[in-house]
Amino acid sequence: MSVAVGVRKLEQPVFGRWQKLRDELGFDAAFTEFGPYAGANIKIQTIDQYTVESSMAMIETNTNYVGTHFGGSLYSMCDPFFMFLLMQNLGEGYMVWDKAAAIDFVKPGLGTVRARFHIPEVEIEAIRAELTKVKKLDRVYECEVKDESGDVVARMRKTLYIRKLNRTR
């Protein structure tokens, strides 16, 4: 299935700029060149093929009007990673799109905050198995953003749309 975006059609390729940055710098370092991440001081660390962590030290450009972490930066540090993990682990032949997201701000964020994104191998295999029986599915994943004391600052929920691509078209 191709999805029209402007004048080009996509079958879930990685956008050219991201592919180039990932190839030249590696996945984690590519984010240092991505404007929203650079401006918010968000750092990425791949733990293993199923796990990524993001962190954001508080600096002037990621604070809000009252001097705590800006909510948009807290969301940004969580936004893409469940999608990336699924795309990477499912591989070619699958489409993964963000469908919905929600973030609950639990308490003001101060200092360095961190979030961990993990999709176990058993979940990847369950998705593959389910997509042999159904055309598409949604999955909901959650993460917590924690401060230096381990207190929850925010909770993010992400709904992802997943389908197997039909390569016979």
Give the list of residues 6+ apart from residue 42 with CB closer than 8 angstroms, or none: 31, 36, 54, 55, 56, 73, 76, 77
Q: How confident is the model at residue 14, as a pLDDT?
A: 66
pLDDT at 31: 75
Can you give the pLDDT at residue 37?
81
Per-residue pLDDT tens listing for the chain (169 residues)? 334 344 434 455 667 777 777 778 777 777 777 777 888 899 999 999 999 999 999 999 899 999 999 999 999 999 999 999 999 999 889 999 999 999 999 999 999 999 999 999 999 999 999 999 999 999 999 999 999 999 999 999 999 999 998 765 4
The pLDDT score that the predictor gives to residue 101 is 97
Q: Has this prediction a pTM greater than 0.75?
A: yes
9-164, which class in CATH?
A: alpha beta
Please say whether the beta carbons of 13 and 165 come within 8 A. Answer: no
Q: What's the confidence (pLDDT) of residue 150?
A: 97
- The pLDDT value recorded for residue 34 is 75
Whole-number Å distance between alpha carbons of 169 and 157: 34
19 Cβ contact partners less than 8 Å away, ≥ 6 residues apart? 13
